[in-house]
Every structure is written in C-alpha cells, then in structure tokens.
A and B are shown apart, each in its own frame.
Chain A
Amino acid sequence: MTANHPGSGIWQSAPRVEDDQLLRGQAQFLDDVPMDDACHACFVRSAQAHARIVSVDTTQARGIPGVVGVFVKQDLFGELTSWRMPLGFALAALPENTTPFVLVDHEVAFVGEAIAVVVASSRHVAEDAASRVQVHYEPLPVVANCRDAVRPDSPTVRTELSSNVLQRYTLAYGSVDEEFAKASVLISEDFWAHRGGGHPMEGRGVLAKVEKSTGTLMVWSSTQMAHELHYTLALMLGQPEERLRVITPEVGGGFGAKFMIYPEEVVIPALARKLGRPVKWVEDRREHFISAVQERDQYWSVQLAADREGKIRGLRGTLIHDHGAYTPQGTNVPYNAASSITGPYIVPSYGLDVSVVHTNKVPVATIRGAGYPQAAFVMERLMDRLARELGLDPVECRQRNLIPADKIPYVKPLKSRAGLPLTIDSGDFPALQARAVEASDRPGFAARRQASESRGRLRGWGMANSVKPTGRGPYESVRLKIQPSGTVAVYTGALAMGQGLKTTLAQLCAPHFGLLPQAIEVLAGDTAMIGYGHGGFASRQAIMAGNAVSQAARKLREKVLKVAAAVLGVDASVLQLSQGEAHSLDFSHRISLARLSMLMKGVPGYTLPLVDDPGLEETVHFHCDAQTYAGACHLCEVEVDPEIGHIEVQRYLAVQDSGNIINPQLAEGQVVGGVVHGLGNALFEHMAYDEQGQPLNTTFGDYLLPTAPEVPPIQVIFAPSPTTLNELGIKGVGECSTIAVPAAVVGAVEDALWSRGVRISEFPLTPMRVAELIGHSRASEKNR
C-alpha cells in the first residue's frame, strides 16, 4: 500500500478532501437533498417482455388517498417535444426509430419498460397506487436470445422493426484469407462472454422543481453526465436553456449505469413543471435490474492463424452481440469489442463480422470496461490455446506477439467509430509483461501448486494483457476563479462519483497558488457554474479535467502575479504565492488574493490595476481528440476444488500503465476496485433471463456481487509509460483494471484443470459449470 503523505503536491497520495462529509454521514446524495413539499414518483413498468398494450386503467390507482396523479404518455402531451428520447451520441448513423420512448402506450418491448408514472405523497403510496394500475397486455412473440433474434425468420422485438439486426458490419484489414490458407497453426473456438449491470450501491434518482421566482427548472440527478442531461432536457421539454439548471449531488457510484440519459430523467422534470411541485424519483434495486442499462451476452466464433513460432498471422470470425430492445446511446459496446480485440498484439490480418442484435430485454450500453473485457477474454484465451498447441510458455507466446517498444506509436489498422485512426501512442508492452511476471514469483508456483495438492486442491496460473484508450475527447472544461472572498474555486463539467475527482483537481491546482488541496473548492456537475462539459466515463477525467485545471491554474497564477506586481509596484519575478497571498520573499511587499480579486472586479471611474479582463478567472477547455493508451498485465493464481468446482482466487497482481499518477493512493484504489468488478464478471455476475424474457435475477440474493471473503490479496504495481499527448503525461485508470480479469481468472482455472481435459471458453464461470466440465454431471454438454 502506498504511504500517505499529508500535504499538497501532485504525484503524491494527498488525503481526500471528500472524506470528511462522507464519513460523518453529512454528504448529500440525491435522496438526501432537502426539499419541502416534494411528492414522490413510482413508475409502472411492463411485466411482459413483448406485448401489445390493449389498455391501461388508472382509475383505481387515482382513487387512492395521497395520490397526486397517475400519468400515461398522453398526459405528458404539451410537456414534451417528442415521444422518443434523442439518440445519445447522435452522430452515429442509426435509424430514427431506435431510441426508447419516454413512456410507452402501444407496445412494450422489455420487462421493466415504463408505461405510466404515479406521483403521490410518499413512495409507499405511489407503489400502492402503481400496483393498482391495470395494464391489459396482448402477448407478442418474445425473442430472448440474440442467437435466435439474429435469424432472418425470427419475430422482431418491436413490431416497428423489420429485422432484429440493428447493425451488421465487417471490420477487416490485411489479407485474412491468404494468411489462413498458408498458416501452419489454426485454432478454432467459440466463446460466450457475459457481463451484467453496473450496480452502484446508490441507484439512479432524479429530483426536479421549478424555482418559481425565476421560472428556472432545477433538476438534480445522480448522473455521470450533467451537461448532456441539460441539453436533453432543453430539447425534450422545450425548456429554454438559461431557465434550466442541472445540479449533480454526491453520486454513489456510476460504473456506466449512470452514463446515460434515461426516460425517467425526462419524465420527472416534466411532471415537476406540469404540477408546479417538486417531484422526486429514487430508483429501487429491482428497478435497477430491470431498467438501468447493462451489458450482457456476446457470442464469438473465431479462428486464429499462426506460424510455427507462435507468431499470429490472422484472426477472423463472427460476433453476435445482444443489444437489448432499443438504442438509447449508440452501439459502442460491440464496436469497442470488435475493434479492440487485438489489444497490445500485432495481428497482421483481421476480419470480424459483427451483428448487433435486438432482444426483448433491457437496452445494452457501456458498463465499466465498455466491451473491452469481452474482447480481451477472447484474445487471451486464444493466446493460451496457441501456447498449448505449440508447447510454448504462455508468457513467451505472448511476448512474441506483443507490439515492441520501438514500434510505438503504433497505428492500428482499424479506425475508431468516429473514423479516426486508432493509434497506440505510448506503452512498452513487453516491459510491462516482464515486470508483471517478475513481480509474481513465478518460480515459486510449483511449490505452491504442490501445497495446494496436498490439500486436495488444483492450483492454476493465468495471465492476461489488455490495453485501453483513455481520455475520451473532444474536451473537458474547467473554470477557475479566485473570488473576492479569497476562495479559490474550480468549477468543472467533469463529474465525481467516488474516484476522488475533487481531490485530484485540487491537488493539481493548489501548488500553483502555494496552497494545500483542502483550500481549493471544487464544484462539479452544476450546469449553472460552467457552460460546457462531458462528465465521467471512459476513464477520461484525470486526463481531460486534470489537464484543464492544470492549464487554468498556470494561466491564472501568471495573471495573479502580474496584477500583484502592478498593485505593489514591484517586478513580478520577486513575488511568490503562499497562504492566500502574493508576497516577496521577506513579506515586505504583500497583498492577499482576496484583495487582488476585489481590485480586479473594478470600481466605476477607476482603471483596473492591470488592463485586462476583470476578475481573477480562467476558463480552459482542454482539447484532445486522440486518446492515450493505458496498458495492463494481470496475473493470477486460483485454487479449484475438483470435487465440487469451487474456485478461489488465491492471489492477484495487476500491473498498470496509467502514465504519471497524480495521486498513487487513489489510483491504486481504482485499480483494486476495478479488479474486483472484474472478479464479479468472471465468477459471479449473470443477468439471466428465461425464454419469455423474464429476468431471473432481480435481487442481490440471486445476482451475486463479490464480497470481502471472496476477494484475494490484490497487488498493484504502476509501471508508467508517460504519454506526450498531454502535458501532465497522465492516462486514465477507472476502467482499465476490469478488462483483463475474466481472461486471467478463467485462464488460471483452465490451467488448474488442464490435466483433467477441461477447456473453458466462457464467463461467468460457476462452480456448477466447472463440475460439469470436469465430468461430474455425467450429462451431455449443456445447450446454452
């Protein structure tokens, strides 16, 4: 664990400024925001996966004491400019009828889809009323599995569609057929990769109120994208932008589930405006299961071609991706998976046919990792197969294929979804892998395996490499201001959801003014405080907001010194900033930042001390379209109980290249958290549905997240290859450590069971499945 160094400074483990309020229970999450006279909403959600809505009878519901109203789609006429949500990431070429409806009235397409909303004096009463809303359904054919949905004769998941295949495309480069024709080694395999939901401990929530004196619609949302919400609400509600304000309270985790603008986030403000009363909706856990975006199934059928030395010559195959019933926000997940699979390896030829397929289930969108874990799983399992086939050490096999340092920057032959080249800008993958292997005490593995065997356990060793572009552009914004009170405030469009954003930005800002991070006030995600921003996703904020605040602080420091020099009548070079003042070394000349700010606000009739824009303020929009690549190498050891299939991860090592690390303790926390999310994906999390599209896991009792006893000791090593794409040389962290985990863990289990003839090409991997693969079921291979 990194030691904690109190005090300022970038590249140090400064303690978090966020903690005090959180530890005392004083921080305000969405449901804690005080609001007099709020009424409470509960959505009536579809109980069927696909059906025509014949009628919705709200009479009984409306009669319940305490009910303010029960609203169906028609009741919002006049509040909405459209019945359908706008497409998030609207630049993608997708059909117009692909986005979710604000509320549905004619046809439901997944269990959980919102049909009506009850507003009442309490959530209790609202739920009472919601249960009295009578929806009469006429069932329509349900398509619950994407492998069925992709067939041309399949019924469609919505009657407005003519096909369930939303997108079909091929990503390819090089001479795939030629390479395969002459390859000495061919590996073929089918894979099932499944990930579940985000499941932040705090669910979604929206609170809205019209501030009557100004007519401003105030909206609080537990979101990862405040400005996008502002844009969407202005559009969907026809609310003038300057009379609309989105405020982000403390957010209890996001993980991609809140990286979305949801119909609920439109309905609640619409109701607040319509009713002239504050309205609040706080999601419960069941709603998160059935209406918050998630990732789910991908079915890969792939072939790897290689030469006798284990050098990969080509990769080809097909991917069928379960996309869910609608497209709220583009189709990144499959594209990311399909375009990232080659990872840090040189793959001279490639061809993947991708089908993005609708199903009658909750829409699929990015969850932490965003499609990268699935791809890394496929690539790394193929690597292990290749190594076995050739009798090569898996480390060596990978070594022979890793992009060498002298080929960096490496332009991948594929393009991003925006058509930009994918260039791995930095990273020394062979060194990263070597570092990981060296730190893992591989020579000691044989003895550890023997010790495991003496206890009746089979021990296995697994590894996986990954690389992820971070720092999603096009920009992030910071407004830095020294107030006349002397407060130094950072307003940013970046968003906090637990990753210590405020501390990080304060750390980057404070040294420029000779202050401690605790002296910097950071306000994130308030659209009234800063005009533009994108928010927290894609492991971008350290880079984007970090560099923005760094640049703003540098500029503002210069201005402060200039103003101080002018006021004090000395040369700026003799002045320094500390303790809230500009002063000479011996303090013979000194002036407070507060007074400088006051002087720069100006007095009518008097010139400003410096002929410049008033105030002490700098706004920087840090631009960066090119992403910087963060590599990782993970190694793990597992013990398998061959009698019952129980898997225990014994040790886990994550070596991470995130460039220069602003705060090592925070960054390490991100890596550990990401690994544990990955463990959830590898061994526990299955968002299962039956053939009727009914979700089978809707509580934490049957959808399993890892708890402390399941987590092994996780060692984190940072091995930076700083990037030149931004001044600070930093790369993202947030999602990176989730990516390689399923591959490393499943690889280790397979290694443990190799001598039993077990081959594993799926995740999540359950003990029952392991027992089946070992042969304990005496039944034929399950048809999934």
Chain B
Amino acid sequence: MKAPSFQYVLPQTLEEALRAVHEMEGARILAGGQSLLAMLNMRFAFPEVLVDIGRIGQLSHITDHGESIEIGAATRQRDIEFSDLIARRLPVLREAILHVGHRQTRNRGTVGGSLCQLDPSAEIPTIAMAMDATLTAASVRGQRQIQMADFPAGYMTPSLEPDEMLVAVHLRPWARGHGYAFEEYARRHGDFAIVAVAVLIELDEQGVVDRVSMTLGGISSMPVRVSAAERLLLGSRAQAADLKAAAACCRTVEASSDSHVQGWYRQHLAQVLCERALKRALARVER
C-alpha cells in the first residue's frame, strides 16, 4: 500500500502556505498526516500537491485571550493533552482528547487536521460543536470567521474554499465551576467512537440550569447539537426525570446506518451515553 505520487511543498510562513494552495492545482494541506497519509497509502486520495504546514510556527499555539482561547490549527493534539491552560479552562476538550486514537496519533495529529477531516465520530469536531467554536479560515483574499455550526458542508466536507485553510479555532470557556463530561463508546480503546456525547452545563445559585450544551458525535454525518434536549433542560433543576427526558431526545436524532452499525443502535447508545454524561457533568458542577 504505497502512496501515489505528489509534489511536496514546505512553506515557512502562513503567507507562503496560502499562496501555495491558491496557485497550485490539486493542493491539499498536510498537517499531522494521521488521516491523510493513511488515505494516501491506501490510495483513497490523489492530491497533486501536499502543502506541509508542520513547520509554520505561528500556526501552532495555545493562546489565552481571556474570554476565549485560541488554538492554532497546526497545534499537535499532544500539546492540548498536556496543556494546563486547557485542563483548567476547557476541561471537556481535555477529557475528549484522551480518546483520540493512541499516543502515536496524538503526538503528530493536529487540532486543525481533525477539524478539517470532519470524521463523523471524531472527538475534536464534536467538542468544537459543543462549544460553539469559531473557526478562522484564511486565503490569499484574507481571513474570515466561520461558526462551527456552519462549518460542516456535508459528510467529511468542510465549508472551505479550495484555496482556503483553517488557521485557528477559538473556544470560549464556560464559567468557572461549570459541569462537563465527554462520554464515548468505541469497540476498543482508541477506536473511532460509535457514538460520543459532549455535555456542558451551568447552574444558577438556585440550582436551576441556566446554560447547557449537548452534542452527539458519530450519530450521523456530522456532530449534532441536540437542541430539543437543551431546551428541556434549560430552566429545569436537572432532576433524574429531566435527565431521562433530555436523553430520550436522542431517539429523534437522525442516525446513519452502515455495514457495521445500525441507526437504531446509534440512537440507543446516544440516549444511554447522554444520560450518563449529564449525570457526570452535574456531579462536577462546583456550587
């Protein structure tokens, strides 16, 4: 399983990279390579040019802007895993990142790479959706912001122009003491999730839910916010019955079927995992 031929470009700056993808026909960004190089080895993709952004320092950073944290697109997943800042202020991301592949995967894989690959079961896109991330895309024409909800254009297809690339993702941390949980079910440790759930929740002083986010990964072709569940929980006291009702909303989310897993099982898993995630998230709330 040897890759087909391609040209290789190693830009030193973001400008060089943007020019390369703009000028060169059939160019694809090479970030961590954990998805793309496997696809190439299996001859599932035939890019004419690979633009390697792995040496562009400005694309690899974790920056605290106070209200938001900016993560460069080429930031290695391992840097997220070992970042104190992320652990403190984006704990659900930290919890999720431990499920991403294996040690070797996270050593090279990048945040932006995972976001642009948009594998339906991938953890990072699920978190980005859960946290209403804002993505910064750049091209020779300038930069623009894309809300995560608008980012997936279809199955494994980001809303990026052919010569556009992701440069950063912005995540706004939830209030200190918020509850969070990431649950996933996979056949083996490190496998892509069959279904994953990300929950964030905040309670006011009276113990009433005043903010909640519930997102499913793996259930269909892109991460799904279960808004019906969120509406049910908002304003509730998050009692057992509320959690059950919220989790039951997963049954109405459209679920894909493939040769390995049927849709009903995805819905069923989603329901079970949602309830578990909600319970864990609530247990974490610091009152």
| A interface residue numbers (CB < 8 A to B) | 122-124, 127-128, 131, 284-286, 643-644, 646, 684, 688, 690, 696, 699, 701-702, 704, 706-707, 709-710, 766-768, 771-772, 776-779
Contacts and interface: CB of A to CB of B under 8 A. Distances in A.
Given A124-B3, A771-B268, A777-B265, A644 B185 contact: yes
A707 B188 contact: yes
A123 B264 contact: no
B3 to A, nearest CB: 7
Interface stretch (B70-78, B87-95, B254-262): B254-262
* Interface SS of B by simple majority: loop
A201 to B, nearest CB: 15
A684 to B, nearest CB: 7
A128 B269 CA distance: 43
B188 A643 contact: no
B194 to A, nearest CB: 8
A709 B188 contact: yes
Nearest to A776: B268
Contacts of A122: 2
Nearest to A456: B276
10 contacts: A124-B3, A127-B43, A286-B1, A644-B269, A644-B272, A688-B259, A702-B260, A771-B265, A771-B268, A772-B265
Contact of A131 (B43, B185, B191, B259): B43
Contact of A285 (B1, B3, B272, B273): B1
Contact of A704 (B2, B43, B188, B262): B188
A643 B272 contact: yes
A696 B3 CA distance: 22
Contacts of B176: none
- Most chain B CB within 10 A, of A701, A710, A776, is at A776
Given A704-B187, A768-B265, A776-B265, 19 more contacts: A122-B2, A124-B3, A127-B4, A128-B4, A131-B43, A284-B1, A285-B1, A286-B42, A643-B272, A644-B185, A644-B269, A644-B272, A644-B273, A688-B259, A688-B260, A701-B192, A709-B188, A710-B188, A777-B268
Contact of B261 (A127, A690, A704, A768): A768
Nearest to B260: A702
Nearest to B264: A777
B5 interface: yes
B231 interface: no
A124 B2 contact: yes
Nearest to A706: B188
What are the 10 A-B residue pairs with the smallest beta carbon separation, nearest first?
Answer: A124-B2, A284-B1, A709-B189, A768-B265, A643-B272, A696-B259, A776-B268, A777-B264, A127-B2, A123-B2
Interface residues of B, number: 24
Interface string B189-200: 111100000000
Contact of B187 (A128, A767, A779): A767
A340 to B, nearest CB: 31
Contact of A684 (B43, B187, B189): B187
B89 to A, nearest CB: 30
A127 B4 CA distance: 8
Nearest to A694: B259
Contact of A646 (B2, B185, B189): B185
Contacts of A284: 1
B57 to A, nearest CB: 32
A778 B264 contact: yes
Contacts of A767: 185, 187
A182 to B, nearest CB: 45
A124 B43 CA distance: 11
A769 to B, nearest CB: 9
Nearest to B192: A701
Contacts of A766: 187
Interface string B236-262: 000000000000000000000001111
B136 to A, nearest CB: 31
